[in-house]
Amino acid sequence: MIASEILADAFFHEGKFVQAFPAFGVERRGAPVMAFTRISDGKIRERCQIYEPDHLIVLDRVLLSTVNVTDGLKEGGWIVINTNMDIDDEELSGKFRVAIIDATKIALSHRLGSLASPIVNTSIIGAFAGATGLVGLDAVKEAINGFAPIKKEANMQAAEDAFNEVKIISGK
Amino acid sequence: MKKVIMGNHAVSYGVRASEVKVISAYPITPQTHVVELLSEMCANGEIDAKFIKVESEHSAMAACVGASAAGSRAFTATSAQGLLLMHEMLHWAVGARLPIVLANINRAVGPPWSIWTDQNDSLSQRDVGWLQIYCESNQETQDTVPQAFKIAEELQMPVMLVMDAFFLSHTYEIVDMIEKEQVREFLPPYKPDIKIDTADQHSFGNLAGPDHYMELRYMIQKAMDRGLDVIKRVDSEFEEMFGRGYGLIEPYRCDDAETILVTSGTVASTTRVVIDELRDEGVRVGSLKIRVFRPFPIEDVFEVLSKAKKVAVIDRNISFGAHGIFYQEIKSALYGRTDIPIIGYIAGLGGRDITPKVIREIADKAIGDEQPERYINWIGVKI
């Protein structure tokens, strides 16, 4: 949820119209949830969930084997995955542009969250910006600076590290 | 200044700008963020208000009733079961003519438990005498808070601001923030003619026998009647100052429309996407958002709808054993003055998504429907 909000705010800082919201389910930290971000040059009028996203961010690679995460994803869209191992999936790489980042490692290196519950929101958004080039690092950092209640510097640095370290598997 | 904020916080910032003096609330999903942020603002001095923690929503409204009777600008927020528990006190606020503002985040009523949106909670309070204003964006939500206080204080009537759970309450979008320094000019401090005051003693909430009770009810109805003009005037004053106005209703591409879809809340916003799509295909269709539900703007609604050949009402609510509730209101507004077919559609209960596809399905059915006497059509039911 937080990642979708930071992403929206980053695009807002670059002059876009934005909307971010969760598909609210179980009220429990760590439960699988979806959140959406809409970005537009004009006013956004759709007020419903997104069923055919242009791009996808996966905060935990385990979701790849438990949920059909690419359901509805448009062909040629970006998938940015938080993983500590290489993704060797020809089907994914054939249809989509895939980028990976060990956002957990980066988050922990900046003491964001704990080993059991690392907070990867800021790293993954940095990686998204780095891989796709759709939004600038400065805008991402500005959004983090506004959103993070504490550890602003650490979060901004984590985003920058991920921005630089993101690895493109296919597509660019 | 523009900021990306969530719908619930748009309410909180509206309350901050309105310089409320007493806030009393009990937390409930999906409303909690509203009062959570307000409690922080009270604690850090951003708002000079008393935050009264209570054990139930009934007490929250009771505290607002007391505060308002003592001459303070009072606010609370709730949802679903919380609003229902307030029911007795909602009546009290009306009878005592107290200008309290309540934000209700539409949440479906249990059982079965649901935290997702539909309008049966606020619409089940239709007849208590609160004004009801349904919002569709974070900007409108924030701006409606000071408007609501101004309307309430002029009419000496309570106002309920209503918005969809999640599709608005948890949605982040850009809001042009209003600040109290600007709002003070629009909404001066609340100074009631009569209030509980130990130095100037009166009796409040007394017994009214059959000789007087009816006149007091008549005066409430008169205030509601006057309400439509007051809401319009307050809205244009707001627009003059802030450049944004919302009206009682909002017609969209209705001028030469043969079919008009009647909507409310966030559905009104999504519907406009579908109207544009259909217009591009050459279909003469428009939409009408009902923003103010109580008092019901009968004449304004009639003026727009009477030019159409067919009206389709989308209800995210149902009055069991009858129809959709907006449907009933529209039918009653048009009765005897036109014989346009009015068709009712029930959709999106319990937070089921109302997508452009769903609205398109309703529009296609309405335009092609040869049996407009069917009052109630369920959309997407899997039985």
Strands B259-263 and B292-294: unpaired
Residue A24 to residue B355, Cβ atoms within 8 A: no
Residue A22 to residue B170, Cβ atoms within 8 A: yes
Chain A CB contacts of B168 below 8 Å: 47
Residue B38 in any domain: the answer is yes
- 3-state class (DSSP) for residue B48: coil
Long-range contacts of B294-297 (CB under 8 A, 24+ apart): B294/B126, B294/B130, B294/B131, B294/B132, B294/B224, B295/B131, B295/B224, B295/B225, B295/B227, B295/B228, B296/B329, B296/B333, B297/B228, B297/B248, B297/B249
Residue B282 in any domain: the answer is yes
B202, B260: one domain:
no
B285, B368: one domain:
yes
Of B192, B207, B242, which residue sits at a domain end?
A: B242
Grade residue A31 by pLDDT with cuts at 50, 70 and 90. Answer: confident
Of B190, B208, B242, which residue sits at a domain end?
A: B242
Chain B CB contacts of A48 below 8 Å: 167, 270, 353-356
Nearest to B355 among A9, A19, A48 (CB): A48
B51, B168: one domain:
yes
Interface test with B, best of A1, A41, A44, A45 (most B CBs within 10 A): A45
Chain B CB contacts of A44 below 8 Å: 173
B221, B350: one domain:
no
B14, B151: one domain:
yes
CATH number of the domain that B339 lies in? 3.40.50.920
Q: What pLDDT does A120 receive?
A: 96
B143, B269: one domain:
no
Distance to chain B for A56, nearest Cα, Å: 19
Q: Print the domain residue range for B82.
A: 2-242
The 10s digit of each residue's pLDDT in A64-84 is 988 899 999 999 999 999 999
Of B178, B208, B242, which residue sits at a domain end?
A: B242
Residue B167 to residue A12, Cβ atoms within 8 A: no
- B128 secondary structure, DSSP code: G
Give the residue from chain B lying closest to A51, CA to CA.
Answer: B355
Chain A CB contacts of B361 below 8 Å: none
Two tokens, residue A72: 């509805």
pLDDT, tens digit only, all 383 positions of chain B = 999 999 999 999 999 999 999 999 999 999 999 999 999 999 999 999 999 999 999 999 999 999 999 999 999 999 999 999 999 999 999 999 999 999 999 999 999 999 999 999 999 999 999 999 999 999 999 999 999 999 999 999 999 999 999 999 999 999 999 999 999 999 999 999 999 999 999 888 889 999 999 999 999 999 999 999 999 999 999 999 999 999 999 999 999 999 999 999 999 999 999 999 999 999 999 999 999 999 999 999 999 999 999 999 999 999 999 999 999 999 999 999 999 999 999 999 999 999 999 999 999 999 986 665 567 999 999 99
CB-based contacts of B237, cutoff 8 Å, min separation 6: B150, B186
Q: What pLDDT does A90 receive?
A: 80
Two tokens, residue B257: 């429309």
Q: What pLDDT does B377 receive?
A: 93
B22, B150: one domain:
yes
Distance to chain A for B344, nearest Cα, Å: 21
CATH number of the domain that A137 lies in? 3.40.920.10
Q: What pLDDT does B372 receive?
A: 55
Residue B4 to residue A12, Cβ atoms within 8 A: yes
Bridge partners, residue B342, by sequence: B311
B205, B265: one domain:
no
Complex-level ipTM: 0.94
Sheet hosting strand B377-378, strand order edge to edge: B249-252, B285-290, B259-263, B310-315, B342-346, B377-378
Two tokens, residue B240: 């003059």
Nearest to A8 among B172, B272, B353 (CB): B172
Report yes or no: B120 and B324 within 8 Å, Cβ to Cβ. no
B220, B265: one domain:
no
B263, B373: one domain:
yes
The whole-angstrom separation of Cα B342 and Cα B367 is: 11
Q: For residue B207, count other CB atoms closer than 10 A to its CB.
A: 7
Q: For residue B381, count other CB atoms closer than 10 A to its CB.
A: 10
The 10s digit of each residue's pLDDT in A132-153 is 999 999 999 999 999 999 999 9
Residue B383 in any domain: the answer is no
- CA contacts within 13 A on the Cβ side of B280: 6
Distance to chain A for B232, nearest Cα, Å: 24
- Respond yes or no on whether the N-terminal peptide bond of residue B295 is cis (omega within 30° of 0): yes
Strands A78-82 and B101-106: unpaired
Chain B CB contacts of A49 below 8 Å: 353, 355
B257, B136: one domain:
no
Two tokens, residue B98: 């107290």
Backbone angles phi, psi at B340, to 5 degrees: -60, 135
Residue B270 to residue A46, Cβ atoms within 8 A: yes
The identity of residue B343, as a single letter, is: I
Closest listed residue to residue A104, CA positions, set A116, A89, A88: A116
B357, B261: one domain:
yes
**Distance from chain centroid for Cα B172:** 20
Chain A CB contacts of B270 below 8 Å: 45-48
The whole-angstrom separation of Cα A154 and Cα A144 is: 10
Q: What pLDDT does A142 receive?
A: 98
Structurally, chain A folds into a number of domains equal to: 1
Interface test with A, best of B163, B173, B253 (most A CBs within 10 A): B173
Report yes or no: B266 and A46 within 8 Å, Cβ to Cβ. no
Report yes or no: B60 and B25 within 8 Å, Cβ to Cβ. yes
CATH number of the domain that B133 lies in? 3.40.50.970
Structurally, chain B folds into a number of domains equal to: 2
Q: What pLDDT does B374 receive?
A: 65
Q: Print the domain residue range for A45.
A: 2-170
Two tokens, residue A68: 């059909």
Chain A CB contacts of B174 below 8 Å: 12, 17-18
